[in-house]
């Protein structure tokens, strides 16, 4: 501990040094306190405190240059942000300049479009008072006066900055400061910084602020290199690394909440009282279309190393002594970040959503036998080695294509109270209930902060309000009535907010170089370790099981639900079987899933589950038809054992693709099979099970009983559009599916939905009832399931038989007219030895 403290102290002294020099530089902008409405008359500004530092008068110009001015980010956020700033700071004279690599005319045209169409008065934040209702006029004026520069070489910067100087002389004002926003890829930073340094520094004591965008490197070494290159040309006080998460209302409310409640919560804010801290960023979207960017980064670099680590620092840092001092805040943030032990693979679980591999192969033009380990989901346990936090796990979780979009920080307190007296729940007695504080980020339907009523009632900053939340709102599964809730204001556009912070010189809202390096030190070794780790594959989306749930174990994390084998069947290479390279991800031009037997079964089960969840969310019900025979037995067991609790059984109807003409108690009965292996284990409604009526008044499958007609009518009555959501088929060595056997070609054209059929003479039970091709091909999804080496020659034949060849293989007639066919073939069936 002694050495630990010494280290921290040394770092601090060093930083105080940096901080002090920071303070001396440009206080120009911070003297105009935010919120003072100076829109009426410029003369108002004379009322500024007389103690204003030299050179901080109101008569200067602030020059703003946006480099990458026509890019997406600028179009979406930056120009709006600067317009908001100019609108709010109406007494300030701004000169704006746009630069990009587009040639002059094209660039001018693009800028015109952006300024007229992508900047809007509707997007002024609520916090900006609209006393004067001349927004449209001011928008027009804003748009008229922004010249465009084609910026490529150093000379171009020289021209631009010469013009900046001239323009000020034209209005007879001196320059107060200069903001240059680099909305360009990081590889361009060094060159541009060099040009800025030689050509674009403002004269005199005006300050320079250069804003840069992430990614700031991909590990410690590259971040160091990138920062080194910037620092050759810019001072630390001039670099504003933007992390837009720090502009979000929820994030910006963490420190004020802690400060306002330092009396009440200060002494609870430690390992003695806090059980754990969860920082969670769940996204529902996937990364399709952006894989060439994403694959280089993955979820840890994309959001954990920056956004989540910064949030963690805001929860864990000491409250700065001087809250109005940026340098002080940065110093405390750095102190805590440098106390976070570097993460290792044991502290993490990682996942990759199941479509990612295919998207990657397509977008990156990779071969079918190649795969990527880039995680799209991760949970990581961090710890802060200091006396306040030593034993508290900080659990950071983030992922793409998860069940919902939700971002929050949850501080869970230890609950040591045990009630011997039953609390008076009716009268809001919250004794002994879970104690937690939750900050929600970016959600309009949830409060900014929720505090359990079993904790002391918090005080909050005056501007905060009590939100009116919808009936039935729950807070991470707890009733709303358990909490004190507060809103810190509507979520404003974070870029707009950070542009304002930059203008005011609040550098603590940005990422300092030491901060950045401390953060990379936390993540770099983990990132190196996991390049060799195969992420767990997850289907993603709502209701696709609990595969990503994890638990705290000793000092690490592990998934709660283990799988027997790594069933990541989408990634060819890991099975280390011979001749894998010949395997493609399509089979007969339809989608193929393969793996060993267990994996193939698991994939089919997941695919069915996924389809069930989709069907239920769209139509409220899921209709599936299962076959009999030997192949589906494993699937039924899998569904029964692994998905007993996660599959939406209550909204599922189970039908049959075919049935043998035997009594239901016969071991040959398909109904009997599915009952024995699946139905008796799961809570499915009896009325949702639809066995084929093979045994009626006149006997087994007697044509006069019209069992086929009865089944057709039942399907017609219950299936939306008379279509199954999902049909599972096995395939016999003779190519038969359901009970549609080779030979009677007439079956192919049968207009009935259910037919009576006859197998070959060798079969024990020749007579069958079966869905027809017509019914099968109407389904939304058909899966053909092929297992075992006995099917190898069949698979070979299928592989080489042309679709139009009306051979004698009924399976080739499966071709859903308006749905999808997917093959699930295990390795032993797929591989020719
Ligand atoms: C810019 O405005 C145009 C026209 O309203 C719109 O189509 C486009 O999506 C906007 N672009 C961005 C990035 O907001
Ligand atoms: C706090 O910081 C502000 C801004 O740097 C400074 O003006 C003020 O004097 C500081 N207050 C104290 C008590 O140090
Ligand atoms: C059709 O299939 C049969 C049996 O598999 C085969 O002998 C024949 O050559 C095939 N014809 C075409 C045109 O593919």
Q: Mind listing the pLDDT tens digit for each residue in 251-272?
A: 999 999 999 999 999 999 999 9
Helices (H), ranges, 491-533? 494-503, 513-530
Q: Is the model's pLDDT at 132 over the cut of 90?
A: no
In this prediction, residues 124-151 reach a mean pLDDT of 84
Provide the pLDDT confidence category of residue 806 given band limits of 50, 70 and 90.
low
Q: Is the model's pLDDT at 718 over the cut of 80?
A: yes
Q: Which residue would you say has higher pLDDT here, 807 or 336?
A: 336
pLDDT value of position 55: 35
In this prediction, residues 731-745 reach a mean pLDDT of 87
Q: What angle do CA 630, 634, 635 make, to 5 degrees?
A: 105
What tokens were used for 609?
């589950």
In this prediction, residues 391-415 reach a mean pLDDT of 96
pTM comes to 0.66
Q: Is the model's pLDDT at 778 over the cut of 50?
A: yes
Nearest CA to ligand 1 atom 4: 117
Question: What average pLDDT does the structure give for the chain?
Answer: 86
Nearest CA to ligand 3 atom 3: 807
What is the tens place of the pLDDT at every residue in 29-45? 443 333 333 332 233 33
From 508, 526, 537, 509, select the one nearest 218 (Cα to Cα). 526
pLDDT value of position 23: 38
pLDDT value of position 229: 94
Provide the pLDDT confidence category of residue 6 given band limits of 50, 70 and 90.
very low
In this prediction, residues 737-751 reach a mean pLDDT of 81
DSSP 644: T
Strands 93-100 and 61-67 come out as: parallel
827's enclosing H/E stretch is helix 827-830
Q: Is the model's pLDDT at 798 over the cut of 70?
A: yes
What is the tens place of the pLDDT at every residue in 65-107? 999 999 999 999 999 999 999 999 989 999 999 999 999 999 9
Strands 239-242 and 207-213 come out as: parallel
Instruction: Measure 489 CA to ligand 1 centroid, in angstroms.
Output: 26
424 lines ligand 1 (CB under 6 A): no
807 lines ligand 3 (CB under 6 A): yes
Q: Is the model's pLDDT at 201 over the cut of 60?
A: yes
pLDDT value of position 5: 38
What is the tens place of the pLDDT at every residue in 453-470? 999 999 999 999 999 888
> Using omega within 30 degrees of 0 as the cis cutoff, is the peptide bond preceding 828 cis?
no
Q: Which residue would you say has higher pLDDT here, 40 or 487?
A: 487
690 is catalytic: no
Ligand nearest to the CA of 110: 1
Q: How far is CA 333 from CA 161, 199, 322, 327, in A?
A: 36, 34, 13, 10
pLDDT value of position 79: 97
Q: Is the model's pLDDT at 342 over the cut of 80?
A: yes
What tokens were used for 151?
């910026």
Q: Which atom of ligand 3 is nearest to the CA of 807?
A: 2
Express as a percent the part of the chain with pLDDT over 70: 88
Q: What angle do CA 284, 287, 292 make, to 5 degrees?
A: 165
Q: How far is CA 765 from CA 700, 756, 832, in A?
A: 11, 13, 32
pLDDT value of position 46: 32
Q: How far is CA 491 from CA 72, 88, 444, 510, in A?
A: 21, 18, 7, 19
- Give the bridge partners for 350, in sequence order: 378
pLDDT value of position 761: 82
**Residue in 218, 233, 307, 623 annotated catalytic:** 307
What is the spatial distance between Cα 157 and Cα 2, in angstroms, rounded to a whole number?
A: 52
- Angle of the 79-88 helix axis to the 135-144 helix axis, nearest 10: 120
The strand ranges marked E within 249-297 are 274-282
DSSP 737: B
CB 435 within 8 A of CB 412: yes
**CA-based max dimension of the chain:** 107
Ligand nearest to the CA of 122: 1
Q: Which atom of ligand 3 is nearest to the CA of 809?
A: 5
What is the spatial distance between Cα 159 and Cα 389, in angstroms, rounded to a whole number?
A: 54
Ligand nearest to the CA of 809: 3
Instruction: Measure 784 CA to ligand 3 centroid, in angstroms.
Output: 22
What is the tens place of the pLDDT at every residue in 256-312? 999 999 999 999 999 999 999 999 999 999 999 999 999 999 999 999 999 999 999
Q: Which atom of ligand 3 is nearest to the CA of 805?
A: 1
CB 381 within 8 A of CB 348: yes
pLDDT value of position 536: 86
120 lines ligand 1 (CB under 6 A): no
What is the tens place of the pLDDT at every residue in 671-713? 998 988 888 778 888 899 999 999 999 999 999 999 999 999 9
Phi, psi at 734, each rounded to 5°:
-85, 5
Q: What angle do CA 699, 730, 563 make, to 5 degrees?
A: 125
pLDDT value of position 155: 95
Strands 274-282 and 394-399 come out as: parallel
Strands 586-587 and 590-593 come out as: antiparallel
Q: Is the model's pLDDT at 224 over the cut of 70?
A: yes
What is the spatial distance between Cα 509 and Cα 496, in angstroms, rounded to a whole number?
A: 13
In this prediction, residues 425-440 reach a mean pLDDT of 92
CB 690 within 8 A of CB 656: yes
């Amino acid at each position: 501990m002694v050495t630990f403290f010494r280290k921290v102290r040394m770092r601090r002294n060093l930083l105080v040094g940096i901080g002090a020099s920071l303070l001396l530089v440009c206080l120009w902008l911070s003297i105009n306190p935010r919120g003072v409405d100076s829109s009426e008359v410029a003369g108002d500004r004379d009322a500024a405190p007389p103690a204003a530092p030299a050179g901080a008068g109101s008569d200067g110009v602030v020059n703003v240059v946006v480099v990458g001015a026509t890019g997406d980010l600028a179009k979406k956020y930056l120009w709006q942000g600067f317009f908001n700033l100019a609108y709010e700071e109406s007494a300030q004279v701004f000169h704006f300049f746009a630069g990009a690599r587009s040639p002059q005319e094209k660039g001018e045209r693009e800028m015109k479009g952006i300024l007229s169409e992508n900047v809007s008065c509707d997007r002024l934040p609520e916090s900006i008072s609209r006393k004067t209702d001349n927004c449209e006029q001011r928008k027009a004026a804003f748009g008229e006066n922004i010249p465009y520069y084609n910026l490529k070489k150093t000379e171009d910067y020289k021209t631009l900055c010469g013009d900046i100087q001239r323009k000020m002389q034209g209005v007879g004002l001196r320059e107060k400061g200069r903001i240059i926003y680099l909305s360009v890829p990081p590889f361009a930073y060094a060159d541009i910084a060099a040009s800025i340094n030689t050509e674009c520094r403002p004269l005199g004591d005006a300050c320079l602020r250069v804003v840069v965008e992430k990614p700031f490197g991909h590990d410690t070494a590259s971040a160091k290199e990138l920062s080194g290159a910037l620092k050759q040309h810019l001072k630390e006080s001039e670099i504003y690394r933007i992390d837009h998460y720090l502009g979000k209302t929820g994030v910006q409310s963490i420190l004020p909440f802690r400060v306002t409640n330092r009396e009440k919560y200060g002494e609870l804010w430690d390992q003695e009282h806090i059980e754990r801290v969860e920082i969670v960023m769940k996204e529902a979207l996937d990364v399709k279309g952006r894989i060439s960017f994403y694959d280089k980064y993955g979820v840890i670099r994309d959001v954990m190393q920056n956004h989540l680590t910064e949030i963690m620092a805001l929860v864990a840092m000491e409250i700065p002594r001087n809250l109005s001092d940026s340098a002080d805040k940065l110093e405390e943030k750095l102190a805590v970040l440098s106390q976070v032990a570097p993460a290792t693979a044991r502290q993490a679980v990682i996942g990759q959503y199941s479509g990612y591999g295919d998207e990657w192969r397509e977008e990156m033009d990779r071969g079918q036998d190649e795969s990527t380990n880039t995680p799209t989901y991760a949970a990581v346990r961090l710890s802060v080695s200091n006396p306040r936090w030593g034993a508290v796990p900080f659990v950071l979780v983030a992922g793409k294509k998860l069940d919902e979009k939700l971002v929050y920080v949850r501080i869970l307190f230890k609950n040591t109270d045990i009630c011997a007296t039953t609390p008076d729940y009716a009268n809001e007695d919250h004794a002994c209930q879970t104690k937690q504080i939750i900050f929600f980020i970016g959600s309009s339907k949830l409060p900014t902060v929720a505090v359990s009523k079993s904790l002391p009632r918090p005080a909050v900053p005056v501007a905060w309000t009590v939100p009116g939340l919808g009936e039935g709102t729950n807070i991470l599964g707890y009733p709303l009535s358990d909490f004190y809730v507060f809103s810190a204001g509507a979520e404003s556009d974070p870029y707009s907010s950070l542009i304002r912070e930059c203008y005011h010189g609040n550098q603590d809202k940005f990422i300092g170089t030491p901060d950045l390096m401390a953060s990379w030190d936390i993540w770099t070794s983990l990132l190196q370790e996991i390049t060799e780790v195969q992420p767990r594959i997850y289907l993603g989306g709502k209701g696709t099981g609990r595969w990503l749930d994890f638990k705290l174990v000793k000092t690490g994390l592990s998934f709660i639900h283990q799988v027997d084998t790594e069933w990541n069947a989408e990634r060819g290479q890991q099975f280390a079987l011979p001749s894998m390279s010949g395997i493609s991800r399509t089979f007969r031009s339809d989608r193929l899933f393969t793996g060993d037997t267990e994996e193939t079964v698991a994939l089919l089960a997941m695919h069915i589950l996924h389809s069930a969840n989709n069907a239920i969310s769209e139509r409220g019900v899921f209709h599936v038809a299962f076959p009999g025979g030997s192949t589906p037995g494993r699937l039924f067991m899998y569904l029964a054992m692994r998905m007993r609790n996660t599959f939406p059984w209550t909204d599922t109807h189970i039908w049959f693709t075919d049935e043998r003409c035997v009594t239901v108690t016969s071991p040959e009965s398909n109904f009997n099979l599915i009952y024995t292996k699946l139905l008796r284990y799961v809570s499915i409604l009896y009325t949702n099970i639809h066995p084929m009526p093979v045994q009626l008044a006149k006997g087994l499958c007697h044509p006069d009983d019209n069992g086929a007609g009865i089944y057709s009518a039942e399907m017609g009555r219950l299936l939306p559009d008379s279509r199954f959501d999902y049909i599972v088929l096995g395939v016999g060595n003779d190519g038969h599916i359901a009970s549609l056997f080779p030979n009677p070609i007439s079956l192919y054209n049968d207009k009935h939905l259910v037919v009576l059929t006859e197998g070959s003479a060798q079969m024990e039970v020749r007579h069958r009832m079966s869905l027809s091709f017509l019914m099968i091909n109407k389904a939304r999804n058909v899966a053909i399931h092929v297992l075992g080496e006995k099917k190898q020659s069949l698979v070979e034949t299928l592989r080489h038989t042309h679709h139009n060849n009306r051979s004698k293989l009924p399976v080739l007639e499966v071709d859903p007219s308006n749905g999808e066919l997917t093959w699930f073939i295990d390795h032993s069936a797929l591989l020719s030895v």
